[in-house]
Structure 1
Amino acid sequence: MQICRSFDQVLTDLTSIVKLDSGAIRKLYGLSGKQATTLRDFFEEDHIFIAYGNEKSTADDFLVVSEEHKRLYTRSGNRGNLALGNRSLPARNESLREDRSGSVIPDEMARRLPLDLEGRFEIKRLLGDGNTALVYEVLDREQMERRALKIIAKENVVGKQELIDCELSVMSRVEHPFIVKMYDYWMFDGSYYMSLELITGGDLFEHLYKVRKLNERQSARLIRCLADSLCYLHDNGILHRDIKPENLLLYPYNETEFELKLADFGLACELPAGEL
């Protein structure tokens, strides 16, 4: 019997056994939605854990129907309390990773902008870390405005060129009050840089994680924003194909309410006239 002396050793041992398609195991979540970060977490309320590599976790991963519940606890021999339908949300999907080993995204602290952009943009902070891109808050010195700068590293362009071309084409076309605006884009040494409208209120996933639920008035306002943006896109033959709370960015409408803007057109596609 092997004694585990550290949480990292557990991840290493599980990696050799589970063999995820995405490589090494980076995160473990219990079915309660709580992330395991220490050895102690294995001896608390959760008895069954879900392993992730660089994949995104979603709330649906933690929903277990009654038949699955029976099979899981029959196999494990533990009939602990699994509160179906009353579990907390997992941590945000694109939360910043402390351990970047295995990631194809260069470390944000080591990244330097190309000379042609270094004089124009001053990087303030990292806003988001997705599977294929980094998003920074920057100061555009030419316009003296704060903006977002999305960077798709050349390591992530391989096999995705068509999607990137479509994203740039769509973002160059769209202009709508409830869609994040792209001001300009550049390609240097195989990497892409997109200057985008900065939305400072966070995303709907983060907001729901904090408040748990929205009142009817606020829900109706957000639904109207999303419906208006989708109607505009569909009228122009564009499919977003990645509608989720993480891609709905919030900004204040008044002191107590928010509106939203649709973001991240990385999976969008354009259809010929009349096909939508």
Structure 2
Amino acid sequence: MSVVAVIGTGKIGELVVSGLLRAGRPAGQILVTARRPERGAELAERYGVRSVDNITAVTEADILAIAVKPQDAGTLLDEIRAKVPADKLIVSLCAGLPTSFFAARLPEGAPVVRVMTNTPALVDEAMTAISAGPHATAEHLAIAEEMFKPLGSTIRVPESQQDAVTALSGSGPAYFYLLVEAMIDAGILLGLPRQVAHELIVQTAIGSAVMLRDSGEHPVKLREAVTSPAGTTISAIRELENHGVRAALLAALEAARDRAREIAAQSA
């Protein structure tokens, strides 16, 4: 089994480490690096993995999962470039950075796979999108998929779609949390205790998501099944439309996509 090094083990990097362990990869075959020594020691104690410096990680690992902040990626690649063999698989979790960013800073022909996952990986319900760089083969994509399957679902997309993926599913959990937060507040306004409102909305969200996933029905049909003529639901939906909720969501996702593009442009 190949050795995986997670370079820059912050929140997303830690998700990868815990997922690899749940998938059965021995802790001895996982390396982590962290900017602060105390963070590395914390990860080593929590997961039984080995905390090393970046150069050791590059030297000993078969796969490098780079999870540093996008603005730190250039400095990292300058540090490790001379030690990276041209055939070593690079898996990038750096939001907004295209594979061309890595290709320009690594040996010619280095295979890079770009990955966008999200925080539901903590409960093995992530949505992970995977894209091949110019030198990544079907085998490299399969390796990346095996790494992330334990975290939830995976999908292959052209790299040109990754900024949209970032806006939709990478940032997506935050939109749902904001909606649930607002609905809980509305429940309190309507006279429900906070805990009751919380339980009602969270379970409603879970049930609705499962129906969307398992029924095969379009969301419009599922919504119409709840919406009786002249009933309570249609009255609520009318107010949502009057307040421009649909337009606000479209604008929000476009803003997230545009910010992903800005990050790439600033890092070029």
The TM tier, using the shorter chain, reads under 0.3
Question: Structure 1-normalised TM-score?
Answer: 0.26
Higher helix share: 2
Q: Which of the two has greater strand per residue?
A: 1
Normalising by structure 2, report the TM-score: 0.26
Relative contact order, higher structure (CA 8 A, sep 6+)? 2
